[in-house]
Homo-oligomer: A and B are copies of this chain.
Amino acid sequence: MKADNRGSAASRRDFLKQGTVAAIALPALSALGACGESKAVAAPPGGNTVASPPPPSPQQRADAMDAMHEKGIKAFPAPTSGKGNQLFEPHLDGRVKVYDLTAEEVQWEVEPGRKVKAWAYNGQVPGPQIRVREGDRVRVNLTNKLPESTSIHFHGLELPNDQDGVPFITQPPVKPGASFTYEFTVPNAGSHMYHSHHNAAMQVGLGLLGAFVVEPKRALPAQRADVDYVMVLNDGSHGYTLNGKGFPATEPIVCKHGQTVRLRFMNEGMMIHPMHLHGMHMTVIAKDGWDQPAPWKCDTLNIAPGERWDVLVKATNLGTWAFHCHILPHAESEHGMFGMVTALIVQPAVV
């Protein structure tokens, strides 16, 4: 059976069913598990008296800090409204796969309780994930419900010039209230993206972006994976996010021992993000959708804006593994982990 992130596989419900992941669970459902040490932190004495409370001892301060860290971990994966990067099922017009995209302003919950203004395709940040095959005929109908003009650039696809999505070079801008249709035969396989190419520093930062994955006509056996996961990095006005969410609202990647996980990193931000996987290495197989001639291994992969990197992870090491940007201020503060942090969870294989 093939588990992937095209909908239900790594869902929250499945995740919570798994008793094997003791350390990560909802606050309401779990005690912390064997690895957690939690001490009650005395609430500072309050009230209306004039006397100041005594300053906390070093031990109390350490406990208070640890409690914040623990709270974040225990909340993971924290429920929020809205889920981006959902697999986009096209409707068919003959043999043409048709995708209707509406760009509009929404409120987006990045972490529990933190809602931000987003400009989103179909209400999702990242926009819905387009997955097609090399040679497919694709039509994208863009409707602009934003207060400014926009356009879509299919980043990485080698399209005819008039489908490239750059206002005043290849097309007029798509005005507020207007629509525009792109149609093309998908030319080259790989992990690509679609995003605004108009006032893009702002529009992409606000969420007008999505994955555009093109499966090859014939996949190499070496590239077959049991789990195929797209991870879009961003660092715009929503903060440091993985697929539109910050830790603890990020999504764990779940697989079985012995499986192969394909990760497709896509950087839609303005900064590099060297993603570090604990416990296992990654084998780098493609850059910007093009096979690397000689795959190479690493545990920390530097992903620059606009880049896509595909890696394979052989899930040989059981457990819950931290997986985060190694620019530490993108991942942790005195208040605990946040932002670009998730986990790869390797479960025992079912016999």
Residues of A within 8 A of B (CB): 23-24, 32, 35-37, 58-59, 61-63, 65-66, 69-70, 73-74, 147-149, 153, 155-156, 158-162, 164, 166-173, 175-177, 188, 197-202, 204-205, 270-272, 274, 276, 278-281, 287-290, 292-300, 302, 304-308, 316-322, 326-329, 331-334, 343
Contacts and interface: CB of A to CB of B under 8 A. Distances in A.
Given A23-B168, A168-B73, A168-B74, A158 B288 contact: no
Contact of A296 (B24, B167, B293): B293
A162 B278 CA distance: 12
B331 A148 contact: no
A287 to B, nearest CB: 5
A58 B105 CA distance: 14
A257 B284 CA distance: 33
A147 B58 contact: yes
5 contacts: A35-B170, A158-B281, A160-B317, A162-B319, A200-B332
A201 B304 CA distance: 21
A262 B155 CA distance: 22
Contacts of A147: 58, 61-62
A18 B162 CA distance: 18
Given A58-B176, A200-B328, A200-B332, A166 B306 contact: no
Instruction: Tell which of A62, A155, A281, A331 has the most Cβ of chain B within 10 Å.
Output: A62
How many copies of this kind of chain does the complex include? Answer: 3
A305 B170 CA distance: 32
A66 B201 contact: no
Nearest to A172: B37
B306 A296 contact: no
A195 to B, nearest CB: 10
Contact of A295 (B155, B293, B297): B293
B290 A201 contact: no
A176 to B, nearest CB: 5
Contact of A272 (B70, B161, B205, B272): B272
A233 to B, nearest CB: 13
A278 B149 contact: no
B59 A278 contact: no
A66 B156 CA distance: 25
Instruction: Name, among A160, A298, A333, the residue most crowded by chain B CB atoms within 10 Å (CB to CB).
Output: A298
B328 A24 contact: no
Given A62-B149, A298-B288, A306 B167 contact: no
A279 B161 contact: yes
B274 A328 contact: no
Given A160-B317, A288-B297, 14 more contacts: A23-B168, A23-B170, A36-B168, A37-B175, A58-B176, A62-B147, A155-B276, A155-B299, A156-B299, A158-B280, A166-B278, A201-B332, A272-B302, A300-B305
Nearest to A162: B35
Contacts of A188: 281
B297 A302 contact: no
Contacts of A329: 201, 270
Contacts of A160: 317, 319
Contacts of A276: 155, 306
Contact of A306 (B74, B158, B172, B274): B274
A120 to B, nearest CB: 18
